Amino acid sequence: MSTAIEVDRLTVRYGRKTAVENVTITVPQGSVHALLGRNGAGKSSLVRCLLGQQKPTSGGVQLFGRDVWRDRACLMERVGVVSEDADAPPEMSVASIARFCSRLYARWDQAAVDARLKRFGVAPEARFGTLSKGQKKQVSLALALAIMPDLIVLDDPTLGLDVVARKAFFEEVIGELADRGITVLLTTHDLAGVETITDRVAILRDGKLALDEELETLKARFRRIRFASQPAALEASPLRAAAVRQWGSGAEAVVTNYDDVSFERFRAGSVDVAEVAPMSLEEIFIAVAGEGAQS
């Protein structure tokens, strides 16, 4: 499978502070890759390097096999971006913004913009500054997709949106993926929303890559196990616990290498297991990147 993004041993420093340290990530074409991390984990620095807006301290980024810092001008013809802050001159009409953008890209699809604006209920003559947050994000998405991109970068695109607007945004992205199979790199704090569309998840913690794997593989190896009493045998078992905490008179452990065979052997040793439950992406993220997560 061809590669859309190749982040190779990327390091970004600001003076003595290291924002991103030796991160390597590969994103195949046609896939959806979620880049997750707490505030300050290094996501923004990595995205700026990926878009050729910032030169890394060391390492590099290639898009479609070309160095993004050296070949940014031509590569950005193939990349649509929806940023955290939907930004455009507030007094300009939506139609004027679209006309301005259309002059910058060779593969501009105005019919697609018109269709999306109609579907979103946005009047072309409306001034950008009068739109709701949800409408601004939908306009940004319409403009990003109008260039017929091979890659779209969604940088925390649903920040500040209500649940209805978030759902509408992700449904539009899902529809585009089904129609055209574009590559998506997504940073977000809306883990419930991204869980329905992403193929692979990378988590940054303190600038370092904590994990990068297929979502289904990730969810298969994480389990929450509750014990009716303190599980003294857990330390000697093959199961690795990322965290153990009190749960009533017993304990709760988050296991990071769960498999049925190992667990059944563990339980056969007269361990009082009360419950075994799968974990959502949000729960896994907290276990990996939360305050009490093990490095």
pLDDT digits (tens, 9 = 90+) for 112-129: 999 999 988 999 999 999
Q: Determine the average pLDDT of the residues in 183-194.
A: 90
Q: Cα(181)–Cα(57) distance, rounded to whole angstroms? A: 33
* pLDDT band for position 178 (cuts 50, 70, 90): low
CA-wise closest residue to 59 among 78, 45, 73, 72: 45
Q: Is the pLDDT of residue 295 over 50?
A: no
CA-wise closest residue to 211 among 287, 109, 106, 115: 287
Tell me: the pLDDT tens digits for 204-241?
A: 999 999 999 999 999 999 999 888 776 666 666 778 88
Structure pTM?
0.89
Window from 34-38, 63-67, 193-197 with minimum mean pLDDT: 193-197
Q: Cα(125)–Cα(103) distance, rounded to whole angstroms? A: 19
Domain spans, the chain: 3-217, 223-278
Residue 119, CA distances (Å) to 115, 122, 241, 278 in order: 6, 8, 48, 37
According to CATH, what is the number of the domain 3-217?
Answer: 3.40.50.300
